[in-house]
């Protein structure tokens, strides 16, 4: 993945948004090649879904959305991700993305600070002092208090062994010191001896009463649990936490712990993913609007208008490509999970009894689409989303997943959403969204099947799929490692590169430019006359060339030949 991210930046496919200011998390800019690739994808989707069909029309809706729309659709109430925080690092995760883990749970009841209290420190300072008045107004310091303690032990010849660096050992040292001092008082010092012992008693020291759990997985050491717990209590203000273990229990298949450090996670909380802004001069509740979290809702809201103007009969669809925004908890895996992204959505309206059949139909159509753009079937997987994971109104959903370098992840969802959306909007707006069937004279709310694909995720899949490394001869004929993006010609950002062999040979340059003129109206071409020819080839290889095969064709046949191969 790292190689792919680097190549994307180096060759101008994808850059981090606002990069020179340190980047904006979850937003990406597409460079000269990336924008071509993205357009090829969107144009091809539009061609297959809208232009080549009689039963689908397009629309382009506004991003700014009236809150009422998203209230009716359920997004204001329910477009939430259950979110959990690591109690140690405060890292935030989506609860359903925590892997199931097994191991032993260490439960810590509380912790107390092994650092002497201010009163105990003061007593130590007096007891250790021989001549002058002790300096006790400086900040309480661990190494100072230990060396003061050791000085007293040495001077009074007490049998208290020196501590290690562990809080438990330091605590034992001071506790033993207190006991010994009280047991062997020195005339005139009783007050300070007693003050030290009571100043170091548990109630006088700092304490954190929060309980905390750590998961220790097989092959991890037990001391890891204690260190993690110490770090937790340190964050809560204890300088030298002595952690109190309450229990140790085996556990199977839990999602309660941070997979990275074993620390306990908070219980899931609902976090709304919608981004909002305000229209007009006053930023109050009345001026609030949302940036749409999906393109689909504007299709439902315009259903009646489009039905009337297009005069379509069921089944028919409305398609849209456009931006959507989600305040994802942790954007990651390059563009895979972004906060601003594009969707390609089709809402295909039908009679209720056609829903399940059309769900199968659209799943197959969409798989064919991926095949047509060069994504291998062997890397695609159809997941039949089980009842408990599906939206309550959906009677069937397929996730089309792709084997990304970072794992198998959703590219597209194909969902049978029943009549839920139109019903909700009809109810909330009090405007009829019914369909009238001329033949049967029935009036009803159509059902809908929705294939919803992500533009950015598909672009990423195209790049991952195209990426390959092989060996090719360099200028001197020596074999060298070569990076090649083997895009399907239909998706390739540049269809044809034109290089005159030498730039100072007038006839070669004239001919090459003539070919540029011939092809440019029909495809994206790239002309380059500078530098060694081998290097010019290699620069193109990296962005898209499959083989180094040479073929000679007549200039007059060129356009037809290339067009055929691209289509
Ligand atoms: P996920 O479970 O991965 O968050 P989702 O099931 O919420 O996705 P849908 O609401 O079904 O996604 O959206 C349809 C499509 O939109 C997804 O299949 C995906 O391709 C795209 N998409 C959704 N969220 C994002 C995102 N944050 N970044 C990029 N693409 C996204």
DSSP 71: H
Measuring CA to CA, how many Å separate 243 from each of 112, 121, 146, 264, 281?
Answer: 7, 22, 20, 15, 54
Distance CA 94, CA 332 (A): 12
> What pLDDT is attached to residue 138?
63
322 ligand 1 Cβ < 6 A: no
Smallest CA-to-CA distance from 168 within 231, 248, 241 is with 241
Smallest CA-to-CA distance from 16 within 295, 387, 434, 335 is with 335
Q: Which of 271, 452, 460 to mutate to test the pocket of ligand 1 (most atoms within 8 A of CB)?
A: 452
417 ligand 1 Cβ < 6 A: no
> What pLDDT is attached to residue 539?
81
* Residue identifier of the C-alpha nearest atom 9 of ligand 1: 413
* Residue identifier of the C-alpha nearest atom 13 of ligand 1: 452
* Residue identifier of the C-alpha nearest atom 24 of ligand 1: 337
C-beta neighbour count of 290 within 10 angstroms: 22
Q: Look at the block and give the residue holding tokens 């802004």.
A: 277
* Residue identifier of the C-alpha nearest atom 26 of ligand 1: 337
> What pLDDT is attached to residue 97?
86
3-state secondary structure 338-367: CCEEEEEEEEEEECHHHHHHHHHHHHHHHH
Q: How far is the CA of 414 from the centre of ligand 1 (A)?
A: 12
C-beta neighbour count of 514 within 10 angstroms: 11
Distance CA 211, CA 109 (A): 5
> What pLDDT is attached to residue 535?
83
Query: What is the model's pTM?
Result: 0.78
Distance CA 338, CA 366 (A): 23
Cβ-proximal residues to 322 (8 Å cutoff; 6+ apart), any chain: 60, 61, 63, 295, 342, 343
* Residue identifier of the C-alpha nearest atom 18 of ligand 1: 412
Q: How far is the CA of 454 from the centre of ligand 1 (A)?
A: 6
> What pLDDT is attached to residue 479?
87
CA of 293, closest atom in ligand 1 = 10
525-527 and 496-498 beta bridge pairing: parallel
Q: Look at the block and give the residue holding tokens 């959505």.
A: 345
Residue 127 has, within 13 A of its CA and on its CB side, a CA count of 35
456 ligand 1 Cβ < 6 A: yes
Give residue 262's region: left, alpha or beta (phi > 0; psi -120 to 50).
left
Distance CA 194, CA 200 (A): 10
- What angle (nearest 5°) sits at the alpha carbon of residue 404, between those of residues 331 and 265? 40
- In 255-372, which ranges are E strands? 269-272, 275-278, 288-291, 316-325, 340-350
453 ligand 1 Cβ < 6 A: yes
> What pLDDT is attached to residue 515?
96
CB 64 within 8 A of CB 70: no
292 ligand 1 Cβ < 6 A: no
C-beta neighbour count of 471 within 10 angstroms: 8
212-216 and 269-272 beta bridge pairing: unpaired
> What pLDDT is attached to residue 497?
93
Query: Could you give the 3-state DSSP secondary structure of residue 289?
Result: strand
447 ligand 1 Cβ < 6 A: no
> What pLDDT is attached to residue 75?
95
* Residuewise pLDDT in 10s, the chain (567 residues): 999 999 999 989 999 999 999 999 999 999 999 999 999 999 999 999 999 999 999 999 999 999 999 999 999 999 998 999 999 999 989 898 899 999 999 999 999 999 999 899 889 988 887 545 556 656 677 888 899 999 999 989 999 999 999 999 999 999 999 999 999 898 888 899 999 999 999 999 999 999 999 999 988 998 999 999 999 999 999 999 999 999 999 999 999 999 999 999 999 999 999 999 999 988 888 999 999 999 999 999 999 999 999 999 999 999 999 999 999 988 889 999 999 999 999 999 999 999 999 999 999 999 999 999 999 999 999 999 999 999 889 999 999 999 999 999 999 999 999 999 999 999 999 999 999 999 999 999 999 999 999 999 999 999 999 999 888 777 778 888 888 899 999 999 999 999 999 888 999 999 999 999 999 999 999 999 988 888 888 888 777 777 778 889 999 999 999 999 988
Torsion of CA 177, 180, 186, 192, to 10 degrees: 40
Smallest CA-to-CA distance from 179 within 163, 167, 196, 204 is with 196
Q: How far is the CA of 462 from the centre of ligand 1 (A)?
A: 17
342 ligand 1 Cβ < 6 A: no
269-272 and 80-85 beta bridge pairing: antiparallel
């Amino acid at each position: 993945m790292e190689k792919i991210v680097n190549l994307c930046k180096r060759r101008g496919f994808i850059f981090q948004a606002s990069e020179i200011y340190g980047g904006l998390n979850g937003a990406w800019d597409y460079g000269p090649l990336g924008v071509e690739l993205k357009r090829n994808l969107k144009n091809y989707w539009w061609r297959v879904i809208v232009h080549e069909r009689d039963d689908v029309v397009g629309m382009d809706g506004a991003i700014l959305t009236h809150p009422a729309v998203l209230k009716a659709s359920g997004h204001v109430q329910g477009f939430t991700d259950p979110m959990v925080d690591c109690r140690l690092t405060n890292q935030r995760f989506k609860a359903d993305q925590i892997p199931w883990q097994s191991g032993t749970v260490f439960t810590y009841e509380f912790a107390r600070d092994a650092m002497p209290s201010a009163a105990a420190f003061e007593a130590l300072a007096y007891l250790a002092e021989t001549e002058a008045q002790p300096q006790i107004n400086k900040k309480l310091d661990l190494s100072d208090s230990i060396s003061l303690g050791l000085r007293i032990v040495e001077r009074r010849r007490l049998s208290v062994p020196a501590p290690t660096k562990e809080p438990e050992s330091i605590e034992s040292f001071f506790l033993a010191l207190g006991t010994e001092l009280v047991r062997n008082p020195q005339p005139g010092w009783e007050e300070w001896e007693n003050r030290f012992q009571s100043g170091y008693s548990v109630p006088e020291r700092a304490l954190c009463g929060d309980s905390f759990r750590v998961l220790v997985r097989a092959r991890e050491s037990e001391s890891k649990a204690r260190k993690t717990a110490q770090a937790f209590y340190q964050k809560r203000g204890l300088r030298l936490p002595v952690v109190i273990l309450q229990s140790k229990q085996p556990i199977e298949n839990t999602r309660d712990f941070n997979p990275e450090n074993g620390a306990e996670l908070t219980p899931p909380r609902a976090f709304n993913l919608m981004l909002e802004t305000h229209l007009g001069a006053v930023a109050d509740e009345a001026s609030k609007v949302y940036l749409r979290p999906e393109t689909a809702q504007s299709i439902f809201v315009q259903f009646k208008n489009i039905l009337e103007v297009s005069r379509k009969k069921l089944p028919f669809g409305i398609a849209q490509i456009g931006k959507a925004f989600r305040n994802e908890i942790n954007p990651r895996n390059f563009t895979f999970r972004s906060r601003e992204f594009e969707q390609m959505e089709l809402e295909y309206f039908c009679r209720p009894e056609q829903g399940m059949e059309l769900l199968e139909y659209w799943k197959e159509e969409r798989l064919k689409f991926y095949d047509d753009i060069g994504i291998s079937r062997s890397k695609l997987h159809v997941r039949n989303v089980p009842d408990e994971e599906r939206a309550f109104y959906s009677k069937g959903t397929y996730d089309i997943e792709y084997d990304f370098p970072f794992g198998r992840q959703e590219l597209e969802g194909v969902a049978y959403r029943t009549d839920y959306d139109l019903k909700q909007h009809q109810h909330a707006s009090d405007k009829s969204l019914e369909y009238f069937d001329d033949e049967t004279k029935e009036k009803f709310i159509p059902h809908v099947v929705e294939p919803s694909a992500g533009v950015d995720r598909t672009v990423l899949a195209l790049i991952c799929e195209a990426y390959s490394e092989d060996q090719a001869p360099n200028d001197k004929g020596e074999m060298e490692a070569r990076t090649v993006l083997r895009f399907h010609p239909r998706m390739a950002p540049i269809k044809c590169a034109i290089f005159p062999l030498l730039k100072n040979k007038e006839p070669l340059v004239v001919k090459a430019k003539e070919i540029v003129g011939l092809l440019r109206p029909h495809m994206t071409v790239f002309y380059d006359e500078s530098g060694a020819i081998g290097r010019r080839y290699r620069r193109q290889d990296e962005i898209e060339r499959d083989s180094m095969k040479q073929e000679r064709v007549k200039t007059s046949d060129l356009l037809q030949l290339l067009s055929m191969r691209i289509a």
